[in-house]
Amino acid sequence: MVKKVNVRIGTGFGAGPLPPSLKPLMQRQGLGGYFMETILEDQKCFNSEEGTEVLLSLIPDKAIAGKLCKLWAANPRRPSTKKFGDLNLEVAALGNSQGAKLVRAAQEDIILQYLYPHIDAKVSKHRNHLLKCLSKVDKFDPEMVPMVGGLLNELNLSKQPKAEEGADPLCGDWECTSLKPYVEMLQKHAQELICETREERQSEFALDIDALQESSRRDSMAGSVDGSCQLIFFTRYDNCTHV
């Protein structure tokens, strides 16, 4: 595992502030407490040599990482709780320096990486994931949905020569199985979302055009008024000079 968390505002992997939604969790030590109990004590993520190497790779201060590497190499059975405690002591020794802020931010990122729920983009866009979503949980019957074994049998039957006329040779595999109504339902829903999004964007574009035209009209009117005032001023000034 490498560094997978980059939630800080206005930075790459630096010590920028956390988003407002995450900051209260870290300040109240809510996630920190769960991290101690779940990751360090229960799962013991840093007990193994591999886990130790991951922890060291997530420490941005090379001097601290090198010092802790020697300490833990001399004590290979040192538990995860002690190792994270060693890191806390090293950070405390830095005081309020910029380096300390950077490592403290890294500690928070470590907690978020191991404990906070991750957003997987593939889950929200791949069909095989989306077909597993339940719209009506109370009415869901796991015994009535397509099973892998049944789908394989349906695919095998669909590949046999068809005696009936009018069979579509370009028919997709899923169209020949009991997955068809579910896939069609998903496609219909996706198409409705696409149309809705397109209409919203067209409406926003039309509003932007109207606003731009109104702004141009006002600028044009303002220019006409300024020109009229200048004409009146110069006319009066010219009359005064000839009196």
Average pLDDT over residues 203-231: 71
What confidence score (pLDDT) does residue 130 get?
75
Decide if 93 contacts 87 (C-beta within 8 A).
no
Decide if 14 contacts 102 (C-beta within 8 A).
yes
Average pLDDT over residues 175-180: 88
Note the pLDDT tens digit of each residue in 41-94: 999 999 999 999 999 999 999 999 999 999 999 999 999 999 999 999 999 998
Which bin fits 10, alpha (ψ -120 to 50), beta or left (φ > 0)?
A: left
- The answer, yes or no, to whether residue 166 has pLDDT greater than 60, is no
Q: How far apart are alpha carbons 58 and 97 in whole angstroms?
A: 19
* Three-class secondary structure of residue 75 per DSSP: coil
Decide if 83 contacts 72 (C-beta within 8 A).
yes
Q: Domain-by-domain residue ranges, the chain?
A: 23-115, 120-159+172-243
**0.85 cut: is pTM over it?**
no
Q: Give 3-state DSSP helix, strand, coil % of the chain, rounded to 5.
A: 65, 0, 35
